[in-house]
Chains A and B, each alone.
Chain A
Amino acid sequence: MSEMLEGWPLLSILTFLPAAGAIWVMAARAMSPGENPGFDRGVRLITLIVTLATFAASLVVLAAFDHENPDYQFVENVPWAFGIAYRMGVDSMAMSLIVLTTFLTPLCILASWSIDKQVSSYMVLFLILETLMIGVFCAQDIILFYLFFEGGLIPMFILIGVWGGSRRVYAAFKFFLYTLLGSLLMLVAIVAIISIAGTSSIPELTAYARQTGFDADLQIWLWLAFFASFAVKMPMWPVHTWLPDAHVEAPTAASVVLAAILLKMGGYGFLRFSLPMFPDASHFFTPMVFALSVVAIVWASLVAFRQLDIKKLIAYSSVAHMGFVTMGIFSGNMQGVQGAIFQMLSHGVISGALFLCVGVVYDRMHTREIAFYGGLVNRMPVYAAIFMLFTLGNVGLPGTSGFPGEILTMVGAFQVNAWVAAGAALGVILSAAYALTLYRKVAFGVIENPKLAGITDLDGREWITFAPLVIATLVMGLAPSLVFDFTHASAEAVVNAFAGNAP
């Protein structure tokens, strides 16, 4: 198969397929004569087909991908000007995140079926967003990476600002402010490392860092500048407060993408840049990252326990789960890094599914207030069963995908500092408390709110949306080795770079 695909710019096709879809939608809109009731349906269908095609394309790339090879694959290199090039290429870590992206986007489109305000604009933005997200993981030039990385902000900002809830302006503003400030610092650092190393190619920068190395004092500043951007994206404590607000106001599908993919860019950034390029500074800052991770886990879990809004609760639980990721990454050993990658993928599936679960009841009742609900299991047994599965996944139950990442990041941290693992393990207790309490309040009991008396169980479209997520959660939970074997090579590369070993 790989011979057949030889010479094709596979990653560019994959990346820009959704953008081509966006152009298709825009062209259709330009040509559509006036008001047409069937138009919105057609747009939805086109978008779904395009995102499914993108998923299929990513599977083709996946099939051709050699996961035992630690090098970047499917490399494309088209020089621009001034030594900056359009470089694409993926390793197994990037590949796994790309598949996560292409897997979730069609489900997001399905979940957006109920959007009826400016449908074509919404779908165009979503398709552009997908291109930018895939681009982030494909980019092998740091400037290109930066363009994709920051570009993703804009469609998300608009999705929240236009299709969001009542406080959408505040939320969008907060989101933009935080991420932009972090990004500007990173941009300065990018410029600095390009001028020092004389290249903007990520593999060359990594090689430079390994052979020559950036000056140790300078590394501190560069690391901090990158950290500013990635910590906000993760988000780490104490720059996490934009996330709950953004989630609460965002439309369901935007929440899914935000939690499942955009947050992962922070973790990806740490693994791609901070550890391999600034190993000395990473070692220096490890205690700080550990401390922030544990604080995030405990703090966010306790705050989640007190939330009155379902989405806010899940958003805070995301902050806690991302704490495991940062802890695992900076433990710098195989268990920690593999666990962190796994936790990112698993959180993508589980938090995405949980936000979809909220979307199901929000579509019906137009409120996310926990107190409004109660006793849903009486009317919605299938929904309740699915919600239970993902709640248990969120709690990190073995057998679901929530477990391997959590335990491995803790195993990794234990080898560096057992107290850190112990602190993180507190989060395992707290997650059970807040997640099961939420479930009791929403699903168990009797229906007391008369408005819920006519609520209906999942329809066919929702079944199709959830089924792949259920399967993914269980498969990743019962046979996580499939993922670990796949991401082994790039995790090893990160660990070696961090430890200062030659590959």
Chain B
Amino acid sequence: MQFSPEVLIVLAPLFAAAFAGLFQRFIGDRAAMAVTTASVGLSLALSLPIFADFVWGEGHERTIELFRFIDVAGFTSTWSVRIDALSAIMLVVVNSVSFLVHVYSIGYMAEDPHRARFFSYLSFFTFSMLALVTANDFLQLFFGWEGVGVASYLLIGFWFKKRSANDAAIKAFVVNRVGDFGFALGIMAAFFCYGSIQFDEVFHAAAANPNMMLGVGDIQFKAVETIAFLLFIGAMGKSAQFFLHVWLPDAMEGPTPVSALIHAATMVTAGVFMVCRAGELYHLAPLASGFVTIVGAITALFAATVGLAQNDIKRVVAYSTCSQLGYMFFAAGVGAYNAAMFHLFTHAFFKALLFLGAGSVIHGLHHEQDMRYMGGVRKPMPITWAMMLIGTFALIGFGLPIEGFKIGFAGFYSKDAIIEAAYGSHGIGAQFAFWCGVTAALLTSFYSWRLAFMTFEGKFRPNPHARHDDHDAHAHDDHHAPADGSAPAHESPWIMLAPLFVLAAGAIFAGAVFYPYFLGYKAEEFWGHAIPLEHGHHDFPVWVLWAPVVVTVTGFLLAVIFYLWQPGAPKAMAKGPAHAFLFNKWYFDEFYDFVFVKGARALGDLFWKVGDQKVIDGLGPDGVASSSRFLSRALRRVQTGFVYHYSFLMLIAAIAFGGYALLAGVGGGR
């Protein structure tokens, strides 16, 4: 057991969370906020040199072991802090976004009576996420995995008086548990096949015997494919991939800083991180990787289509997150783990920026989230507008792919690398993913500009159903729209805007600065042993390089036509069945509710009222009781008496048992 800065990075937020959570009544809100924010700031300050060491320095891969978690006959897990390029990236992403979200929340949650609890949860989340990314074995990974799940559950349901928030929180946890079902079985399968759950040992064992078979009953599966497949089920839950995505849009019930931190930048990317961490396994599992590619590609496209038709500003960004996670997965599926991690890295900045920007708009508009009742927000909130614009450019991946003179926003470098990797791969589903990726890029551009135009441009459209009563605190603002058609909004305070500046800087520069290390000529040195790297350079046809640019511009022009020049057109379209299909998110919720929720209820009732009460009790004790009424009557008489009767009964019973046993023992014994 050793104590070092790396350990402090992970534990500082835990201590702060416990301190703020346990002593909130005694120290007050301000101290709770200060302690938690400072602890994450400390973690960030300690993380940056580690990351810098991998980028510009030697890059010391190391693992600090604390103490044994579980050790039962080879099933061994040790609390550890594993430092390599992969975890260094995640340390910076998690701590920087978390720190900025802490700062932002000081402004955003200023009027909430439960601020201390909120900050305690945020720091607890940060701790869990750090434990996840610094794990050295699958069990600590799973610990963090579930820990972030609980933090997410608590924060989605933070406004516990709202029924919808509580339901969304439970939905998030339970759907994630469906994924964990696969994840846990994957861990068990890995232990069964390789006799270890420690990363390097599992990877070495898998590489040493790549054709090992796993017998399940009478069926033989290829071990590494099965394990990779099962682990990915977990990733599908955590990262909201197709089939298990349904919880993420509902998770927007939580406060917006939570959406930015957990449901955009960090927790939902844990699945991508896990697949990259286990890259050595997926490398050996072409079928499972193909599955990852196809699920990722479908998600990228599916979520983008749903994003077209949503009116809630946060839901649009949520579906966008879902879609971008799909990109990361199909990158990992085709073996471009570095591209997947690069997109994770850049996405964290611009998506957090978009979420916090959306939060700023919501804050400015007195908690209005419906874009149909926005418009004209640019004038009263120019800084937020500028920041959202930067986020939008980064999300759509705007840039110029000129050979030798590549230049663009952060998302440009990472997204184009993914699309190119899919095109250049011979893996299962890679070409399908390429076309999904290009199409989704078109849709991404369209819905991003739709969001920007509906929110910031045009004239303000007041909400006819607005409930002004629940936000008396905003009485200092005029609720009537100004005459020039701009929105009756106010710019957010500096404590909320400052984090946006930092994130905007990331959204602009993170791609250009770090491209050489993640993907370019310094990649091999940077990554070390963290992930398997694809070797060999591909020359892509010019149309492949330019396709993303073309579709992005096309999406922009379509959005201009529909939302700036012909604002009536979308309303006409909104009546069609295609719109209803998209607006209702392909009817996934309805289907799942009918099959799983109602199904579980019906089965529960069947087992309880028929199984337990009619069949088991009817044939068992109740049947016996009714056929021997006298016994129950006798018992009833006894129970009305005093305890002495019972003591007497007890004595008789004990003597009877003992005596019988003694006699029987003698009779048969010798």
Contact = CB atoms under 8 A, between A and B. Distances in A.
A432 B601 CA distance: 15
Contacts of A162: 639, 643, 646
B612 A241 contact: yes
Contacts of B670: 83, 198
A200 B665 contact: yes
Contacts of B180: 428-429
Interface stretch (A58-66, A221-229, A302-310, A363-371): A302-310
B665 A194 contact: yes
B607 A334 contact: no
A165 interface: no
B72 A82 contact: no
A169 B646 contact: no
A177 B73 contact: no
Contacts of B632: 169, 173
A306 B616 contact: no
Interface string B487-517: 0000000000000000000000000000000
A306 B191 CA distance: 36
Contact of A83 (B620, B624, B646, B665): B665
Interface string B57-73: 00000000001111111
B575 interface: no
A485 B660 CA distance: 41
A418 to B, nearest CB: 4
B189 interface: yes
A335 B192 contact: no
Interface stretch (B34-42, B153-161, B257-265): B153-161
Contacts of A155: 650
B440 to A, nearest CB: 31
Contact of A191 (B139, B147, B604, B664): B664
Interface string B281-322: 000000000000000000000000000000000000000000
Interface in B608-647: 608, 611-613, 616-617, 620-621, 624-625, 632, 635-636, 639, 643, 646
Interface in A184-199: 187, 190-192, 194-195, 198
B608 A410 contact: no
B657 interface: yes
B635 A302 contact: no
Interface stretch (A92-100, A206-214, A275-283, A439-447): A439-447
Contacts of A151: 650, 654
A334 B192 CA distance: 13
A369 B616 CA distance: 24
B612 A143 contact: no
B600 to A, nearest CB: 6
A192 B191 CA distance: 42
Interface stretch (A38-46, A106-114, A347-355, A419-427): A419-427
B192 A299 contact: no
A interface, by DSSP: helix, strand, loop or mixed? helix
A238 interface: yes
A479 interface: yes
A28 B140 CA distance: 55
Contact of A399 (B143, B157, B616, B643): B143
A411 interface: yes
A152 to B, nearest CB: 11
A398 B661 CA distance: 46
Nearest to A447: B161
Contact of B71 (A125, A154, A307, A484): A484
Contacts of A398: 139, 142-143, 146-147
B177 A429 contact: yes
B55 to A, nearest CB: 33
A484 B604 contact: no
Contacts of B669: 82-83, 194-195, 198
B216 A444 contact: no
A426 B603 CA distance: 14
A377 B160 contact: yes
Interface stretch (B96-104, B166-174, B398-406, B419-427): B166-174
Contact of A421 (B68, B153, B185): B185
Contacts of A379: none
Interface in B101-154: 139, 142-143, 146-147, 150, 153
A436 B216 contact: no
A174 to B, nearest CB: 5
Given A398-B147, A479-B69, A154 B639 contact: no
A320 B68 CA distance: 29
B570 interface: no
A195 B665 contact: yes
B185 A440 contact: no
B568 interface: no
Given A446-B161, A484-B70, A305 B604 contact: yes
B475 interface: no
A172 interface: yes
B661 A146 contact: yes
B589 interface: no
A433 B170 contact: yes
Contacts of B192: 411, 414-415, 418
B161 A445 contact: yes
Given A192-B668, A303-B604, A177 B611 contact: no
Contacts of A174: 621
Given A146-B661, A437-B170, A422 B185 contact: yes
Contacts of A436: 153, 169-170, 173-174
Interface string B451-491: 00000000000000000000000000000000000000000
Contacts of B534: none
Given A398-B146, A410-B184, A432-B174, A440 B75 contact: no
Contacts of A410: 184, 188
Contact of B665 (A84, A239, A443): A84
A115 interface: no
A350 B620 CA distance: 30
Contact of A147 (B68, B169, B646, B658): B658
B181 A425 contact: yes
A408 interface: yes
A70 B185 CA distance: 32
B178 interface: yes
B572 to A, nearest CB: 41
B217 A418 contact: yes
A339 interface: yes
Given A417-B217, A421-B185, A408 B600 contact: no
A121 interface: yes
A315 to B, nearest CB: 12
B657 A187 contact: yes
A299 B600 CA distance: 10
19 contacts: A81-B662, A82-B666, A84-B665, A147-B654, A150-B657, A157-B646, A173-B621, A195-B669, A299-B607, A305-B600, A339-B72, A408-B75, A410-B184, A414-B185, A414-B189, A418-B214, A433-B174, A445-B161, A484-B70
User: Which 3 pairs between the two chains have the least Cβ-Cβ distance?
Assistant: A195-B668, A334-B73, A306-B604
Interface of A: 81-84, 118, 121, 125, 143, 146-147, 150-151, 154-155, 157-158, 161-162, 168-169, 172-174, 177-178, 187, 190-192, 194-195, 198, 200, 238-239, 241-242, 299, 302-307, 333-335, 338-339, 375, 377-378, 392, 397-399, 403-404, 407-408, 410-411, 414-415, 417-419, 421-422, 425-426, 428-430, 432-433, 436-437, 440, 443-446, 478-481, 484-485
Given A155-B650, A378-B161, A481-B68, 14 more contacts: A84-B665, A161-B646, A162-B639, A302-B600, A303-B608, A398-B142, A398-B143, A411-B187, A415-B192, A418-B217, A421-B188, A428-B177, A429-B177, A481-B70
Interface of B: 67-73, 75, 139, 142-143, 146-147, 150, 153, 157, 160-161, 163, 166-167, 169-170, 173-174, 177-178, 180-181, 184-185, 187-189, 191-192, 214, 216-217, 600-601, 603-605, 607-608, 611-613, 616-617, 620-621, 624-625, 632, 635-636, 639, 643, 646, 649-650, 653-654, 657-658, 660-662, 664-670
